[in-house]
Amino acid sequence: MLILTAIAVVRMHSLFAVAMLSGVFSLLSALLFVTLDAVDVAFTEAAVGAGISTVLVLGTLALTSRFEKPTKRSPIIPLFVVFVTGAALIYGTLDMPNFGSPDAPAQTHVGPDYLERSVEEIDIPNVVTAILASYRGYDTLGETAVVFTAGIGVLLLISGFSRRRRRDDDDDEESEET
Amino acid sequence: MGFELTQEYILGHMNYWLFSVLMMTGLYIVVAKGNLVKKIVGLNIFQTSVFMLYISTGKITGGTAPIFPLDMEVDPNVIYSNPLPHVLILTAIVVGISTTALGLALIVRIQEEFNTIEEDEILEIERAIVLAENAIHGDSMGGRA
Amino acid sequence: MRHHLILRVITKILVGAIMLFAFYVQFHGDFSPGGGFQAGVIMAVAFILYGIVFSLDSVKRVFPPWLVHKLVALGVLLYAATGVLSMFLGYSFLDYDAFVPSHPSSGQHYGILAVELGVGITVTAVMVAIYYAFAGRPPRLSDEEW
């Protein structure tokens, strides 16, 4: 289903349909995250991907065009690049541990250690929040700063402050000329 | 090659290969399509499939979500999936939405300046601007922009 | 949107429920899936939904832009202040054991609560600010041409 949605995004020319399909893709991936036992991630992906992202893309469509013009370039070079990269990725995953094996290196060092330590030290049921806010709290501070910076960036770009100032300058120039 | 192509091996690695296919679809949208909004959507698809690949490495067969019962009576026989990839991907999702918001804001400004959001037309307009500036200031810059 | 009666009535009912759910997710982040980010996004969605169905001016009257801009900074400040406060109390930066030295897990509870609140405030304000910025521009097509 996910692959079909992604291929549909490739083929569609109506950008409104592309926005809706990206929301569908996010919801389906949230379902996948739940089956992979990642409930916090599924919650965030559903809220952010299917909620905010769709609203932002639709807002952009209202300010730009609704359709994609068909491109005249040939798809040979991008297909070649994609195949080479995909082959390299698959070659890299050939000696990774099997899906779900309990003695993979990812499961043996810090993960179980956090699970054991958080019972005595932090004593809250949701281990993901405990790691996010306490054991890796510094990373979360950086992430909040990233959200802050993105908000400021968008405000600087399109909040309309500069247009008001430019209009005031034009009015001043006109009044000086007359 | 040091592995046998058994059924267990294929089933154990099928998830990595499927997510790689998704990643390559997203990459194809970014590289091949000319519309800027579609490129941003393709980037989102790429990011989400990377998250899926990462989270699938944290899953333990027979495990459950890493949330203890409410009275904190932890049963030592219950296997919990690894919570560390979840934390990293939570951060990555939020960073991804920040990048998307900034990219879309840039697209709105590009539309205002160039009156189009197709990459080919933008390149044409920029080339025309460079040629016009070259014609005006060409002598003082030695004939090249 | 004046003639979409069903949308307006349902939105009036839903917006309160969405805000309550956002508070629930924020404060139950310790016990069930949730936390600052999800709660912030859900709370922002309540305001955005109100702004879409009713006009942008009416939602700007409820949540004025100057307040949004101040809240964007307040959340990050709250997070950093929690860390600095634990530094002033003698422990290292962002060490929540400083708040209740005799019972460290209670200190951790307070610290996590304050920190997630800061994250939730910033995420809400940033999403609402981005929506105000995008929706405040005059659109190229009118509603009927869509």
Counting Cα atoms < 13 Å in the Cβ hemisphere of A154 gives 31
pLDDT (tens digit per residue) in A96-112: 887 877 777 777 778 88
Whether C94 is in a domain gets the answer yes
Q: Which residues of chain C fall short of a pLDDT of 50? A: none
**pLDDT surpassing 80 at residue A90:** yes
Residue A12 structural domain: 1-70
Whether C95 is in a domain gets the answer yes
Whether B133 is in a domain gets the answer no
Q: For chain C, what is the domain count?
A: 1
Whether C145 is in a domain gets the answer no
Select from A20, A43, A70 the last residue of a domain: A70
pLDDT (tens digit per residue) in B42-80: 999 999 999 999 888 888 888 888 888 877 777 778 888
Q: Which residues of chain B fall short of a pLDDT of 70? A: 1-4, 139-145
pLDDT (tens digit per residue) in A25-54: 999 999 999 988 889 999 999 999 988 999
Is the Cβ of A174 closer than 8 Å to some Cβ of chain C? no
57-116 in B: which are within 8 Å (CB) of A?
Answer: 57-61, 63-70, 72, 74, 79-87, 89-91, 93-95, 97-102, 104-109, 111, 116
Contacts of B28 (CB under 8 A, 6+ apart): A10, A78, A79, A82, B42
pLDDT of residue B142: 61
Read off the amino acid at residue A131. Answer: I
Q: How far apart are CA A125 and CA C57, in angstroms?
A: 42
pLDDT of residue A165: 46
Distances (CA, A) of C103 to A12, B1, C26, C110, C111: 59, 56, 24, 11, 13
pLDDT of residue A149: 94
pLDDT of residue C51: 92
Smallest Cβ–Cβ distance between B82 and the set A45, A106, A140 belongs to A106
Identify the chains in contact with B, defined as 3+ C-beta pairs within 8 A.
Answer: A, C
Whole-complex ipTM: 0.89
CA–CA min distance B52, chain C (Å): 18
Give the Cβ contact number of residue C92 at 10 Å. Answer: 10
Q: For chain A, what is the domain count?
A: 2
Q: How far apart are CA B50 and CA A74, in angstroms?
A: 27
Whether A100 is in a domain gets the answer no
Residue B53 structural domain: 7-63+73-114
- Which of C77, C85, C78, C76 shows the shortest CA–CA distance to C114? C78
Whether C90 is in a domain gets the answer yes
Whether B128 is in a domain gets the answer no
pTM value is 0.87
Read off the amino acid at residue A135. Answer: Y
Q: For chain B, what is the domain count?
A: 1
Q: Which of A5, A74, A127 to mutate to test the interface with B (most CBs of B within 10 A)?
A: A127
Residue C118 structural domain: 5-138
**pLDDT surpassing 80 at residue A130:** yes
Q: What does DSSP assign to residue C146?
A: -
